[in-house]
Structure 1
Amino acid sequence: MADKQKRKRIPVLPWMRSPVDVSLIEECPLEILPMLDHRLKAALQNMGISSLFPVQLAVWQEAIGPGSFDRDLCINSPTGSGKTLAYALPIVQMLSSRTVKCLRALVVLPTRDLALQVKEVFSAIAPAVGLSVGLAVGQSSIADEISELIKRPKLEAGICYDPDDFLVELQSSVDILVATPGRLMDHINFTKGFTLQHLRYLVIDETDRLLREAYQSWLPTVLQLTHADDSSIIFPSYISNPCSDGSLKTIRRFGVERGFKGKPYPRLAKMVLSATLTQDPGKLAQLDLHHPLFLTTGKRRYKLPEKLESYMMICESKLKPLYLVALLQSLGEEKCIVFTSSVESTHRLCSLLNFFEDLELKIKEYSGLQRQSLRSKTLNAFRGGEIQVLVSSDAMTRGMDVEGVKNVINYDMPAFIKTYIHRAGRTARAGQSGRCFTLLRKDEVKRFKKLLQKADNDSCPVHNLPSSSIEFLQPTYVSALEKLKEKVESETSRKSTITSSSRAGKQKDRNSSKAKT
């Protein structure tokens, strides 16, 4: 048996065996942070930031300090530890010395919502040093994105230009691009003037998820496009071009030297990050890392936020909604996120909760079934305190940062420790305290405790509610279930009608096509 388990164990790469433990690093006040641009210092202070967290300081030292980014960085750090600013700050500082506008830093994330959040962090500091940040996530039409990312420079009157010379006509409007893989590939394949040939920094956030899903082979495409040979690198130069009157005019080809530490043709510097970074050599090999340095928090692969309190709630399966309602009532108006196992469960649970008429809480749904515009509106309302409870599928588990979330509730027990870590990480962020409650049947308790042991968490007491609070809700629960049943039947009927109409329309089109032939 022991031999069998040994064969299943994935080998750990040598560079992952000796990580830098960032938990041993203390926070550093901005006042004594070495080499920080005074403009960035002011921008950070305007954000209410007075010091850097350990992971942020560790990355700063490797990128800006003596390390000078000689090695690619792999960062495994708990949710809420400040990973976004950890890469945003040094990248903005490093790019601030260049004045020619071109795309030099690319940040790739798995979801639109997470990309929007990361873009906000960059936008808070980049303008301070004259840099601009773009977004490519498919939230708007691709034409609108192109107008934001690519510009046609104003050219001097009386000068003749070759209409096919796109290097003259098209320039990047942004220095830094935050993108999702699908929309990034759209721009690579179809947007004229969009190029990665000047790219100096690549950040892959939520790496394990991005490596697990192919997304149109975005990673090998990006790496191939940035491994350009010398002949494809465009430098500022001037050429003479004859005009119709026979005179010679001088025009400029727009480009930029890709200098890096005194080298004219540098490697692409990479940072990869996750709260649950994979150790699979096969997956990590896709990243083509250069002498990688592994930064992590402690010796455990999985780590929960330091000030997180975990609790179990044991309940009968059919009474779970009652326990949830009673728990929400006991928490008052504290911000809560309730996680379910699927988008369908999210929709039904949210509907059921809103049928509890005496539950004086604003409760909304947040899932992949909704349009992006509706999700953004809901999230903003939650951030602003207009909504107290968000019922969510795992669409919100990774990286999403909502200030003031005091409680996370697992309505459905997560199947994997990674899922638990990402869900629980929506609270107890940035050194704050928070609680995570998990509703369990008796037969799930043993498996749940075993799950938590993978994150070195042996302290998960049972949270009890007064039986009277459950019994008091019984009549309302019966009424709410009836209303939910009616709503589900109505929605099912409506979907059936829409499907039938769609099929009838397609059949009519086919019949019409046959008649014409």
Structure 2
Amino acid sequence: MEELKKKNSVPLLPWMRSPVDVSLLEECPLSLLPCLDPRLKVALQNMGFSSLFSVQVAVWQETIGPGSFERDLCINSPTGSGKTLAYALPIVQKLSTRAVKCLRALVVLPTRDLALQVKEVFTAIAPAVGLSVGLAVGQSSIADEISELIRRPKLEAGICYDPENSYQELQSAVDILVATPGRLMDHINNTKGFTLENLCYLVVDETDRMLREAYQSWLPTVLQLTHSGGDGLFPQANTFLPSTFGSLKTIKRCGVERGFKGKPFPRLVKMVLSATLTQDPSKLSQLDLHHPLFLTTGKQRYKLPDKLESYKVICDSKLKPLYLVALLQNLGGEKCIVFTSSVESAHRLFTLLNIFGDLKVKIKEYSGLQRQSVRSKTLKAFREGNVQVLVSSDAMTRGMDVEGVRNVINYDKPAYIKTYIHRAGRTARAGQTGRCFTLLRNDEVKRFKKLLQKADNDALPDHSVPSSSIESLHPVFTSALEKLKETIVSEASRKRKTGFKFSRMSKGNRSYHSTK
């Protein structure tokens, strides 16, 4: 047993042993936030902000305050705590102090949908100070992206543009780029005029996932291209914190060497963020962090949103779909996300729910089986309230922010605490309340409670579904299962004719109830 514990334990890096607890800070009204550009204050107010959350205040101190990016930042904060604005605001403020048009900030995220969401945050504030934001993501026209990202030189009348001879004259049309790794590498390798030589800031959002998957070796490539440092375009540090910052000066800092010994200066500043930040030294070493400062919320590694209520729904596995239908009916049309263990399970469950007939809610599927254009359209309808229920694979778990999601339902229980945190984090965001229901068999309860203990959550009250509701659905369920089989077989046949491999879906037809 002792050998097993040693094998599973990961030694903490020294800088992770003394984290800064940002939960000790209170929200800070915009009117009291020191050094905030008045134009950005107006932009934030137009977004509906009157104050900053604790994690945003802590990051502001370390970037605009006395730290002023002297150290790279690692931020481990619950989902919905405001991490995107925490890095977007100080980066925009710092870039606005220098009137130069080149790519100086890069934000890299694992998915297109998440990149679109982050770009919206930057776009809401950056134009207020004269900065432009670009987007580089997969499944979209790279030619259109190039026209948005690269500015061709102005030529005199009668002179034709020669791309072979004008390479050096091509310039970046954006100050900030939000990108997915694959498309970023496409531009690095193939787009003339695209350069990272002036890069000041690198943000790696959803860091644990970004480090777990290679993504065409994007990280070592970016670090190699920026290793030699900048050319004087980096904003210089602010040395002193105004007295108006008040009690925020009391945040604890670890005793480390200041300055940039052994590092090029100006250097590439890095910010890495996640709700479940990895503690694996071998993974974190890939980032080549400079005297990192670890910002987190409390001593608990995994933390759920403060106003999240977690419930278990005990059910018979053979009748699990009926418990879900009854639960959705009891929720009365509140905005809800139903999570399954795979894209195939999500598709089957969505198909079955629609066969059930009039459930008085609009249900849509959201998974990797769909084209990006379909997912984007579905997400838009969900945001606008035209769809009340999304049946999703874990494609929705990472960072996606949809206002008004009141409930999350784990149709398939998550195997890991990280998965539960990211799923549950789609609700109870930004200080709002929310509920997470997990459908369990009796023999799964003990193990699931043990999993939740890793997030310091021992309470898991029952949410009862009336037996009368289940019984009334039996006749419809039997018919729906037959129709589901026919639908799956028909889809498999159609996919085979079009050359699409659908074998895993057809296998799932053997047992609908088992979604693992």
Query: TM-score normalized by structure 1?
Result: 0.89
Cα distance between partner residues in 1 of 2:459 and 2:323: 22
Q: CA deviation at 1:369?
A: 0.8
Check whether the contact 1:166–1:193 (CA below 8 A) recurs between aligned residues: no
Query: 1:471 matched to which residue of 2?
Result: 471
Letter in 2 for 1:436: C
Query: 1:508 matched to which residue of 2?
Result: none
Cα distance between partner residues in 2 of 1:144 and 1:163: 17
Cα distance between partner residues in 2 of 1:259 and 1:493: 60
Check whether the contact 2:410–2:436 (CA below 8 A) recurs between aligned residues: yes
Q: Secondary structure at the match of 2:216?
A: coil
Query: 1:144 matched to which residue of 2?
Result: 144
Q: Do structure 1's residue 28 and structure 2's residue 28 form an aligned pair?
A: yes
Check whether the contact 2:61–2:67 (CA below 8 A) recurs between aligned residues: yes
Letter in 2 for 1:412: D
Q: Secondary structure at the match of 2:197?
A: coil
Change in CA separation of 1:478 and 1:164 when aligned onto 2, cut-off 3 Å:
closer
Query: 1:507 matched to which residue of 2?
Result: none
Query: 1:490 matched to which residue of 2?
Result: 490
Deviates more, 1:162-171 or 1:51-60: 162-171
Query: 1:330 matched to which residue of 2?
Result: 330
1:104-132 residue CA offsets vs partner (Å, 9 max, x unmatched): 00000000000000000000000000000
Check whether the contact 1:259–1:265 (CA below 8 A) recurs between aligned residues: no
1:151-203 residue CA offsets vs partner (Å, 9 max, x unmatched): 11314569999975546421100000000000000000000000000000000
Cα distance between partner residues in 2 of 1:155 and 1:444: 70
Letter in 2 for 1:171: Q
Letter in 2 for 1:105: A
Q: Secondary structure at the match of 1:490?
A: helix
Letter in 2 for 1:426: R
Cα distance between partner residues in 2 of 1:165 and 1:492: 53
Q: Do structure 1's residue 449 and structure 2's residue 432 form an aligned pair?
A: no
1:309-328 pair list within 5 angstroms: 309-328=309-328
Q: CA deviation at 1:394?
A: 0.3
Letter in 2 for 1:30: L
Check whether the contact 1:207–1:273 (CA below 8 A) recurs between aligned residues: yes
1:342-491 pair list within 5 angstroms: 342-491=342-491
Cα distance between partner residues in 2 of 1:208 and 1:446: 28
Query: 1:275 matched to which residue of 2?
Result: 275
Q: Secondary structure at the match of 2:99?
A: coil
Aligned positions, number: 477
Q: Secondary structure at the match of 1:365?
A: strand
Check whether the contact 1:258–1:265 (CA below 8 A) recurs between aligned residues: no
Cα distance between partner residues in 2 of 1:227 and 1:292: 17
Q: Secondary structure at the match of 2:62?
A: helix
Cα distance between partner residues in 1 of 2:78 and 2:358: 37
Check whether the contact 2:155–2:161 (CA below 8 A) recurs between aligned residues: no
Letter in 1 for 2:475: P
Query: 1:240 matched to which residue of 2?
Result: none
Q: Secondary structure at the match of 1:472?
A: helix
Cα distance between partner residues in 1 of 2:280 and 2:84: 24
Check whether the contact 2:69–2:237 (CA below 8 A) recurs between aligned residues: no
Change in CA separation of 1:163 and 1:453 when aligned onto 2, cut-off 3 Å:
closer
1:55-454 pair list within 5 angstroms: 55-156=55-156, 166=166, 168-228=168-228, 233=231, 257-258=233-234, 260-261=236-237, 265-454=265-454
Cα distance between partner residues in 1 of 2:148 and 2:7: 52
Moved over 6 A (4+): 158-163
Q: Secondary structure at the match of 1:290?
A: coil
Q: CA deviation at 1:315?
A: 0.5
Cα distance between partner residues in 2 of 1:63 and 1:22: 14
Cα distance between partner residues in 1 of 2:344 and 2:11: 38
Cα distance between partner residues in 2 of 1:145 and 1:61: 35
RMSD over aligned Cα atoms: 2.0
Cα distance between partner residues in 2 of 1:384 and 1:163: 44
Q: Secondary structure at the match of 2:427?
A: coil
> Gapped runs of 5+ residues in structure 2?
239-259, 502-516
Query: 1:248 matched to which residue of 2?
Result: none
Q: Secondary structure at the match of 2:463?
A: coil
Q: Secondary structure at the match of 1:135?
A: strand
Letter in 1 for 2:383: R
Query: 1:252 matched to which residue of 2?
Result: none
Letter in 1 for 2:398: R
Q: Secondary structure at the match of 2:84?
A: helix
Letter in 1 for 2:89: L
Q: Secondary structure at the match of 1:458?
A: coil
Q: Secondary structure at the match of 1:473?
A: helix
Q: CA deviation at 1:438?
A: 0.2
Cα distance between partner residues in 1 of 2:107 and 2:146: 17
Cα distance between partner residues in 2 of 1:379 and 1:117: 11
1:260-315 residue CA offsets vs partner (Å, 9 max, x unmatched): 44999411000000000000000000000000000000101000000000000111
Cα distance between partner residues in 1 of 2:395 and 2:294: 28
Q: CA deviation at 1:333?
A: 1.1
Check whether the contact 2:103–2:176 (CA below 8 A) recurs between aligned residues: yes
Letter in 2 for 1:495: K
Check whether the contact 2:81–2:429 (CA below 8 A) recurs between aligned residues: yes
Query: TM-score normalized by structure 2?
Result: 0.89
Cα distance between partner residues in 2 of 1:310 and 1:318: 23
1:48-80 residue CA offsets vs partner (Å, 9 max, x unmatched): 000000000000000001111100000000000
Change in CA separation of 1:19 and 1:312 when aligned onto 2, cut-off 3 Å:
same
Q: Secondary structure at the match of 2:373?
A: helix
Letter in 2 for 1:307: K
Cα distance between partner residues in 2 of 1:196 and 1:138: 19
Cα distance between partner residues in 1 of 2:114 and 2:225: 25
Letter in 2 for 1:270: K
> Gapped runs of 5+ residues in structure 1?
234-255, 502-517
Cα distance between partner residues in 1 of 2:229 and 2:360: 64
Q: Secondary structure at the match of 2:406?
A: strand
Cα distance between partner residues in 2 of 1:38 and 1:447: 52
Change in CA separation of 1:229 and 1:321 when aligned onto 2, cut-off 3 Å:
closer
Query: 1:17 matched to which residue of 2?
Result: 17
Q: Secondary structure at the match of 2:455?
A: coil
Letter in 1 for 2:181: P
Cα distance between partner residues in 1 of 2:500 and 2:220: 43
Change in CA separation of 1:500 and 1:343 when aligned onto 2, cut-off 3 Å:
closer
Letter in 1 for 2:427: T
Cα distance between partner residues in 2 of 1:163 and 1:394: 43
Q: Secondary structure at the match of 1:435?
A: strand
1:33-44 pair list within 5 angstroms: 33-44=33-44
Q: Report which of the two structures shows the higher radius of gyration computed on alpha carbons.
A: 1
Cα distance between partner residues in 2 of 1:159 and 1:229: 36
Q: Secondary structure at the match of 1:439?
A: strand
1:11-32 residue CA offsets vs partner (Å, 9 max, x unmatched): 0001000000001000000010
Cα distance between partner residues in 2 of 1:186 and 1:447: 44
Check whether the contact 1:307–1:433 (CA below 8 A) recurs between aligned residues: yes
Letter in 1 for 2:321: P
